[in-house]
Structure 1
Amino acid sequence: MLRGLSRLSRSTLSLREVCSRGQRFGFALKYSTAPAERRRFYKDVSISQGDGGVFEINLDRRKLKTPGGKLFTVPNEALAIAVATEWDAQRDSLKFYTMHMTTLCNTALDNPTQRDKDQMISAALKFLETDTVCYRVEEPIGLVDLQKNEWDPVLHWIEDRYNVTIGSSSSILGPVIPEATKDTFRQHLNSYNFWSLTGLEYVITQLKSVVLSMGIIDRHLSVEQAVLLSRLEEEYQIQSWGNVEWAHDYDMYELRARTSAGSLFVHLTSESSTVKRKLMQD
């Protein structure tokens, strides 16, 4: 798979990608965040179990709180360890923009946009109507072939997996998604709890694709494969025109990090199992 991209190594944004990021949707997703950086004010990180079976994060003897002032609690030990590891990995300065699991937990706890599950599902389904893998070009022929060879297998997989019809189109309006397809995905997304939907929506916004996101969550695609497929057009443009290599690498690694965190968040919040080992202290 991805054989057509084996030699691609640089990055730029195509005009369609720039436009799609700012104009495809009539809403903006907001995630609960803290200032970009702050001096580290604690020495030790630990986790403890609170009332109701939830887990808390302790910075020295102080309990972590959300930006909204709520006690920071997570539903299972595995997620608590993931968050605590992010805090423990920080050095002299806290780089909050690298702490994706913490940010996702803050979002689920504070719910800054005050949305319920139905609203979150509707927002996710809007991406299905403008899915990255559904938008095809008519030229150049090299990119046409690349999209067909790399995107069609994933599109066929999800149609078979969920018994739906999605299709693709070279029209700027994209394909017309049948209502039956939307209903199927609405029912499927409704099976996720609020926390898992928070993570899934985050992954979808990173990749601009329900198809690729479900490919990761269902373990049909690796994060690396999905990220590369989401950047197919811009990678092709880079192969043709070139760009600053370090900028490409930074963008690629950042997208991988965010997508990995989101998919891990979905899996950890979809399971009730606990991890018996404790976070090691320095």
Structure 2
Amino acid sequence: MLRNLVRLCNPTSYAVLKRQEGQARRSHFLGNIKAYSTAASERRKFYQDVSIAQGEDGLFEINLDRKKLKTPGGKLFTVPNEAMAIAVATEWDAQKDTLKFYSMHLTTLCNTALDNPTHRDNDQIIRGALKFLETDTVCYRVEDPPEMVELQKNEWDPVLDWIEKRYNVAIGSSYNILGPQIPNKTKDTFRQHLGSYNFWALTGLEFVITQLKSVVLAFGLIDRHLTVEQAVLLSRLEEEYQIQRWGNVEWAHDYDMYELRARTAAGALFVHLSSESSTVKRKLLQD
């Protein structure tokens, strides 16, 4: 990945301007998530042991010592399967003297799915996710310098080719600020595909899309065509150009990169775990 990375300047382009629209949408969505994450950003740890238990309704709960975990909205914190419960419990068990809620992405996504603070249903989430297709990162291209044009072609075109063949759709790319004309058939196909996910999985998938600013890259990641590292690098292609050309504050760049990878990985894991109906024990017996 990024094998053709070269030193380039940072011209203002239609692609950059258009993606700023997608960035604004992403900031709005993430602002809602962050504002509704667990209480404060940090808090002194108040428990010793973390465990999970299955309730009479079949849902799994998280226990901090003898207290049941609750959502910010006051609901009992329950998840649909044992695998999700173990993943969330691991987040809480990994905390040291101070609870760093901003790093507990699975917990935050569960809270969002349980309390649904924006009061949206599946159709509304799907419509919101598909809006990112109109400003998809990989669809907007620069016209110069030539090296950057070539890099975008080499790195983004294979992903576009893959998703068009995978879902039998047409997307394309554009140098125009208006972007490519996405056919209604393509939107309908993606809408139908997203409709196969449950509410929890849609919550996670929208989160991934907002991280990468791309429906194409999010689908590539969820379908395991791309790794987390590949999807993140492809979403940051232009930023990496500028860093190679102008340099960067090393620790800041590394921190941003690791944080984006962590959020993206957590979102992808959340999607897969939300679609898992078997318990861990049952799967072990099957294996």
Correspondence 1:33-44 to 2 at 5 A: 33-34=37-38, 35-44=40-49
Aligned position for 1:203 = 208
**Is 1:186 aligned with 2:187?**
no
Partners of 1:70 and 1:110 within 8 A in 2: yes
Aligned position for 1:122 = 127
Aligned residues: 272
| TM-superposition CA deviations, 1:138-164 (whole Å, max 9, x none) | 011111000000000000000000000
**Is 1:148 aligned with 2:148?**
no
Deviation at 1:21, TM superposition (A): 5.2
Deviation at 1:25, TM superposition (A): 7.0
Separation in structure 1 between the aligned mates of residue 83 and residue 99 of structure 2, nearest angstrom: 22
Deviation at 1:234, TM superposition (A): 0.8
Aligned position for 1:280 = none
**Is 1:212 aligned with 2:217?**
yes
Separation in structure 1 between the aligned mates of residue 233 and residue 187 of structure 2, nearest angstrom: 26
Deviation at 1:275, TM superposition (A): 1.2
Correspondence 1:48-87 to 2 at 5 A: 48-87=53-92
**Is 1:102 aligned with 2:107?**
yes
Structure 2 alignment gaps of length 5 or more: 283-287
Partners of 2:26 and 2:211 within 8 A in 1: no
Aligned position for 2:29 = 28
Aligned position for 1:3 = 3
Separation in structure 1 between the aligned mates of residue 188 and residue 23 of structure 2, nearest angstrom: 27
Partners of 1:24 and 1:130 within 8 A in 2: no
| TM-superposition CA deviations, 1:6-56 (whole Å, max 9, x none) | x89xxx9x8937834544579635223121000000010000001211000
| TM-superposition CA deviations, 1:236-259 (whole Å, max 9, x none) | 111111111111100000000000
RMSD of the alignment, in Å? 2.0
Partners of 1:25 and 1:126 within 8 A in 2: no
Separation in structure 1 between the aligned mates of residue 182 and residue 140 of structure 2, nearest angstrom: 13
Separation in structure 2 between the aligned mates of residue 247 and residue 159 of structure 1, nearest angstrom: 36
Separation in structure 1 between the aligned mates of residue 165 and residue 22 of structure 2, nearest angstrom: 29
Separation in structure 1 between the aligned mates of residue 26 and residue 96 of structure 2, nearest angstrom: 38
Counterpart secondary structure, 2:143: coil
Q: Which runs of 4+ in 1 moved over 2 A?
A: 14-29
Counterpart secondary structure, 2:245: helix
| TM-superposition CA deviations, 1:144-190 (whole Å, max 9, x none) | 00000000000000000000000000112211110000000000000
Against the structure 1 CA distance between its residues 109 and 155, is the aligned structure 2 distance closer, same or farther, given a 3 Å change threshold?
same
Separation in structure 2 between the aligned mates of residue 47 and residue 140 of structure 1, nearest angstrom: 55
Counterpart secondary structure, 2:181: coil
Against the structure 1 CA distance between its residues 125 and 224, is the aligned structure 2 distance closer, same or farther, given a 3 Å change threshold?
same
| Percent identity of equivalent pairs | 76
Against the structure 1 CA distance between its residues 22 and 2, is the aligned structure 2 distance closer, same or farther, given a 3 Å change threshold?
closer
Structure 1 alignment gaps of length 5 or more: 278-282
